[in-house]
Amino acid sequence: MWATQMVNGWMSYVLKGFKSRLKVWNKDEYGGLENRVLGMVDEIKELDVKEVVRNLSSMEVEAKSDLIKNLQWR
């Protein structure tokens, strides 16, 4: 729908500038989200393996809890 809309004049220039800034912001904010999620999953798996071998330190337990909360939010 938006791709088919044609805007002429100064507003066209304003909207194009806004669109490019919005794309940069979106990429910075959400780009690579899949890789970040996979990284968090890997960290949780590493902590799970450590937990099988020994008890996790309080810092590791907190880190694992934070990772899980972040994944649930996404």
The 10s digit of each residue's pLDDT in 5-36 is: 665 677 777 788 888 888 888 888 877 788 88
Per-residue exposure over 41-67, b if at least 16 CB sit within 10 Å of its own CB, e if not: eeeeeebeeeeeeeeeeeeeeeebeeb
- DSSP letter string, 5-73: ----SHHHHHHHHHHHHHHHHHHHHHTTHHHHHHHHHHHHHHHHHHHHHSPPPHHHHHHHHHHHHHHHH
pLDDT band with cut points at 50, 70 and 90 for residue 40: very high
